[in-house]
Structure 1
Amino acid sequence: MGVHPIVAQSSGRCESGGNLEQGKGTWNSLRKVTLQVYLLNAYQSLKAESRGKEEHFVELPPEICQLKIIGFSKDIGSSLSLLPSIMHRLESLLVAIELKNRLSASFPEGAEVSADRVLEALTTEKCNEWFSLERLEVLGDAFLKFAVGRHLFLLHDTLDEGQLTRKRSNLVNNSNLLKLATMSKLQVYIRDNSFDPRQFFALGRPCSVICSEETETIVHSRESCPKNGSNIQVRCSKGHHWLHKKTIADVVEALVGAFIVESGFKAATAFLKWIGIQVNFEASQVSNICSASTIFRQLDAKVDITALEKLVGHSFVHKGLLVQAFLHPSYNHHLGGCYQRLEFLGDAVLDYLITSYLYSVYPKLTPGQLTDLRSFSVCNNSFAAIAAHRSFHEFLLYDSSTLCESMNKYVDFIRTTASEKRLVEGPSCPKVLGDLVEASVGAIFLDTGFDLNRVWKMVLSFMDPVISFSKLQLHPVRELQELCQFYNWKAEFPLSKKDGMFTVEAKVTGVNVCATACAANRNGKAAKRMAAQKIIGTLKAQDYKLKSESLEEVLKSTRKMKAKLIGYDEASIDVTAPVAIPKEKLKSQEPSRSTESNRLGGSSKKTARSRLYEVCAANSWKLPTFECCDETGPSHLRKFSFKVSIDIEEDSDVIVAFGEAHPRKKEAAEHAAEGAIWYLKSAGYLHELK
């Protein structure tokens, strides 16, 4: 009969050299230990069936039990203690390899990214590793905006900037990325928990529980559930942990960044197609848009094209694109169109180019610092300063006296010395100046056949005053919030409005500190910024400063690397030169006016649409968007109804005005603009306009 070794488990302390005789005296007072001895009965014959196990229980005193580990030295035991950590990291790498193999099987470009880079894109900061997805996510986010924006620009050649922006937002927002990621089962690969030895188990141990809507409350303990679970969506991975929906969306962007760094645009585009985002386009689409720009050549006499080409640093093949880039929506003396679509395209191009610059030049900066630098660089204030220094406003075609006044005030302020700027309050930044820079970049990008290398070289010189960060300063509101967070203060920015003016009475309270400041401006955001700036000055005078290094100090101590255009591997499109058009055919259908009269607003009667553009420019709002919302009647008696939408950011409100049906679209849009003007006038927005 075979006997298995006896295994003893004692709840008492096991002492070496226990004496059986001493144990007899205290037998009744000792805790009893149950010892299971499994005896297997031998087969009576080869053909006989084995009988079941028999259990025998024997009670032994703990004194006779000894626990010894034989065959392991202290050094071996110390090395074995590292095994859980090694196995955890090996498991993470195997997960990345599994995803890489899946991508490779789905599209050929999937094999071009390394498993290490995939693991980096799957690992969040919560894992407390020396790498995380944050930097890749910054790069992937910029490329996603660029690729989707370019695709929509070519696909919808009749939509304006506002409509294109909304379509792009619907594709690249976190909700859509979450939906696409979960459909592709990407959430099961995400590494979002730090290593915990207490939760370690050997590889190969199967998970006995499968999460579903019915069982997730049992699988996940209440302690692991988010406190505000109603406001976020979660998905369960193979490790049964909670994932915020933004984390899953960030992983998608980080994987895009991984393909950009490891392979290039083509591989990143293939990944986006695999996950469900189409960004492809045809070369003919680019050629068609370039050829269609000849319609703007009718305004050649209004613009000094030669001087403007020297100013932007590019000799255009399609001169109409350059004219379009400096054509404001308020200018009605032509067949239609303005710079808005080019602005949409140029914004996406600049965003990626500047992100690529920061990613390559500052490899040691944290993702948060990269984001701060990008926010400082890719903003209307930075672009407007460039436009002011290069005198872009002098070439703008527009029909608005208010716009002219606001641009001149801002340009004069920008050109003053630093000491003079401290003595006066700066005017609000006209959005049109920043738009001109973006529209110019968009026009150059089209005219070069999407040759990003040529645009990259131009932007490096174009944006040098900005990307050199010689005058780096965080937004005052952001700076004040960081200061309050450091000292555990509370900041409040109550906003009120009266007679078209916004007033912010900012207040900071905390232990032994109370600072207030008041600022007024026609723009609510500007008033908030001014109030925050005043409080920061007051607190700094009391020697309240952040103990950590400022971003400017970090940049001074950081070694800069060579700037690189990351990932660009596309071939430029051959955009042929347009057919020359005789000058006599370039005359505008509207009565021509002198350039100077045009720039100063002119004396001709303004349309309601022009008036509406003036209101938006004066209040620093986004430009109004017109849309044909209804068509009625038979084909030979068609009538059109238009609506106009105005986004008032300060009030977090969108005004929509509908016009009556008209047989001509231009008349229908004009009637909608008249309705919007009436409402804005009654709301007090027009009291200062002439």
Structure 2
Amino acid sequence: MKSKSKSKRSKKSEEEEIDEEDYGIIVVHTDTPLLVDMDMRTAIPALEHLLGYNFHDQSLLIEALTHSSYTEAESYQRLEFVGDAVLGLALTNHIFLTYPTLDPGQLSSLRAANISTEKLARVAVRHNLYSYLRRNAPALDEKVREFSLAIRYDADEVPYDGTVKAPKVLADIVESIAAAVYVDCNFDLKVLWLVFRALLEPIVTLDTLQQQPVTMLFEYCQKHGRRVDIRHWKKGVKNIANVYVDGKMVGSGCSEQKEIAKLNAAKEALQKLLDSEPMSMDTDSQRFGGTQEEGAKQRLNELCSKNRWPKPFYKVEKEVGPAHEKLFMCSVQIGISNDIYVSSGDLKSRVKDAENSAASCLLNALLELNFA
């Protein structure tokens, strides 16, 4: 790493001292680090060098580096559409050949970990791709800057960190560049993978995936003979996930993204379990029958009547399986003051049971919020 000269300006904050080579943004000598658009004459050779690939049609790369806010030229949206699909297929081939014994569920998890918005956004930051993007979007610049700062200390091999929402534009750039290569090499998937694999490193492996908080939580509870249940509900635009072990809540997470809420809840639960081992799971304090689902609809109706809340509204969210073995998942929502509380239950063979499951989940959430 190059040595950094000291500035004679007033003392900067920690965020203002980031280095472009470390965190993938360009620092201009002002009081705030800014993301700067590069000229295409600089971008094309720089990216060809990064990829180790010379374009036959450089206009494809220019299009891949043009955001919709830059109205003077065609944006990357069509290429991003292709890139999303082709990267998924390339990763599918890779993990299928690398892990010949994995079942479809494990293969899907590995693929998802490698092409998630957050994973691709980290790739964009690591290789400074956003600085090459033609754009006219100051608000977007700020979001990218915040994400770059937030992940600056994270290890690259850790996927799905879940601590910050990744700007979609970063993943879009990676996908559009992938599509540009794919189209330029006459739709040769093998060539694309040979060119693009290095850019995506480190590839998430089965070993690193198994270190995820949710996976570790389930493995820990299975090993110790405990039952783990993760329940989701919504408050406005926020997703809330609660982790129950043997009926007792031991972790909670909140985020606009459902998966991030789940990850944060699993992290908290796992840490509590590890810190308090051996742990007593006393469920006697659970009111309304704890996580018991039988009669939950009636108890929720009684609670709403008691507090003069509107009646609960139930909805079938999902139906799976053949007609003779169909399973149902229901949601329930109620209004309290100006807020809407929504919760979904587990898959059940009868709609009535699915509604009871949803009601039970919502009752537990209300209990934790001291509404019940």
Distance in structure 1 (CA, Å) of the matches to 2:90 and 2:261: 31
The one-letter code of the counterpart of 1:530 is: N
CA contact (8 A) 2:113 2:204 kept: no
Shift of 1:373: 1.5
Aligned pairs, number? 238
Counterpart CA distance in 2 for 1:405 and 1:345 is 27
For the residues of structure 2 that align with 1:434 and 1:509, how far apart are their CA atoms?
Answer: 35
AA aligned to 1:448 is: C
Encode CA deviations 1:353-408: one digit per residue, 9 max, x unaligned.
11111111222333332222122112112211111111111111222222111111
User: Quick one: distance in 2 between partners of 1:430 and 1:330?
Assistant: 15
Q: Name the residue aligned to 1:508.
A: 244
Instruction: Judge conservation of contact 2:88–2:115 (CA < 8 Å) in 1.
Output: yes
> What is the alpha-carbon distance in structure 1 between the residues aligned to residue 68 and residue 120 of structure 2?
19
1:308 and 2:47 matched: yes
Shift in Å at residue 503 of structure 1? 5.8
Once superposed, what is the RMSD of the aligned Cα atoms?
3.4
Equivalent residue for 2:92? 355
In 2, are the aligned partners of 1:492 and 1:506 still within 8 Å (CA)?
Answer: yes
Indicate conservation of the 8 Å contact 1:327/1:396, yes or no. Answer: yes
Question: For the Cα contact (< 8 Å) 1:496–1:503, is it kept in 2?
Answer: yes
Q: CA deviation at 1:463?
A: 2.4
Please say if residues 69 and 136 of structure 2, whose CA atoms lie closer than 8 Å, have aligned partners that are also in contact: yes
CA contact (8 A) 1:388 1:414 kept: no
Structure 1 residue 321, shift from structure 2 partner: 0.8
Question: Which residue in the other structure is 1:615 paired with?
Answer: none
Deviation (angstroms), 1:444? 0.3
Alignment-derived partner of residue 263 in structure 2: 529
Show the 5 A alignment for 1:324-335: 324-332=63-71, 334-335=72-73
Contact 2:162 2:260 in 1 (8 A): no
> Match of 1:345, SS?
helix
Structure 1 distance, partners of 2:105, 2:196, is: 24
Match of 1:491 in 2: 230
The whole-number CA distance in structure 2 between the counterparts of 1:353 and 1:441 is: 10
Q: 1:429 maps to what in 2?
A: 166
Corresponding residue for residue 392 of structure 1:
129
Which of the residues 102, 108, 124 maps onto 1:371?
108
- Note closer, same or farther for the CA distance 1:432–1:426 as it changes in structure 2 (3 Å cut): same
Residue of structure 1 in register with 2:59 after alignment: 320
Structure 1 partner of 2:149: 412
Residue 517 of structure 1 aligns with which residue?
Answer: 252
Where in structure 2 are the equivalents of 1:281-680 lying within 5 Å? 301=40, 304-332=43-71, 334-335=72-73, 337-418=74-155, 426-468=163-205, 471-473=208-210, 476=213, 487-497=226-236, 502=238, 504=240, 506-510=242-246, 513-519=248-254, 521-523=255-257, 525-543=259-277
**Cα distance change, pair 442–505 in 1 and its aligned pair in 2 (3 A):** closer
Return the letter of the residue paired with 1:517: S
- 1:533 deviates by 2.6
Q: Report the Cα distance in structure 2 between the residues aligned to 1:452 and 1:518, rounded to whole angstroms.
A: 40
Q: For residues 509 and 452 of structure 1, do their structure 2 counterparts lie closer, same or farther at Cα, with a shift above 3 Å needed?
A: closer
Residue 431 of structure 1 aligns to which amino acid in structure 2?
A: K
TM (norm. structure 2) is 0.55
CA contact (8 A) 1:321 1:447 kept: yes
Call closer, same or farther: CA 1:532–1:310 in 2, change over 3 Å: same
Looking at structure 2, the residues matched to 431 and 496 of structure 1 have their Cα atoms a distance apart, in angstroms, of 24
- In structure 2, distance between residues paired with 1:367 and 1:523: 25
One-letter amino acid of the structure 1 residue matched with residue 263 of structure 2: R
Distance in 2, matches of 1:490 and 1:525, equals 15
Q: Which runs of 5+ in 1 are unaligned?
A: 1-298, 545-650, 652-690
- 3-state SS of the aligned residue for 1:491? strand
Q: How does 1:112-127 map to 2 (within 5 A)?
A: none
Amino acid at match of 1:529: L
Q: Compute the displacement of 1:474 (Å).
A: 6.2
Deviation string 1:290-316 (CA, Å, 9 cap, x unpaired) is xxxxxxxxx965762211222233211
1:228-277 Cα shifts (integer Å, max 9, x gaps):
xxxxxxxxxxxxxxxxxxxxxxxxxxxxxxxxxxxxxxxxxxxxxxxxxx
- Residues 609-644 of structure 1, C-alpha deviation per residue, up to 9 Å, x if partnerless? xxxxxxxxxxxxxxxxxxxxxxxxxxxxxxxxxxxx
% identical aligned pairs:
30
Residue pair 1:326, 1:396 contacting (<8 A) in 2 also: yes
The answer to whether the 8 Å contact 1:481/1:491 transfers is: no
Query: Displacement of 1:473 after TM fit?
Result: 5.0
CA distance in 1, matches of 2:63, 2:249: 52
What are the Cα deviations for residues 532-588 of structure 1, in whole angstroms up to 9, with x where unaligned? Answer: 3322322333459xxxxxxxxxxxxxxxxxxxxxxxxxxxxxxxxxxxxxxxxxxxx
Q: How does 1:55-66 map to 2 (within 5 A)?
A: none
Identify unmatched segments of 5+ residues in structure 2: 1-37, 279-341, 343-372
TM-score of the aligned structures, taking structure 1 as reference length: 0.31
The one-letter code of the counterpart of 2:84 is D
> CA separation of 1:534/1:364 partners in 2, compared to 1, >3 Å: closer, same or farther?
same
Matched residue, 1:269: none
**Match of residue 677 from structure 1:** none
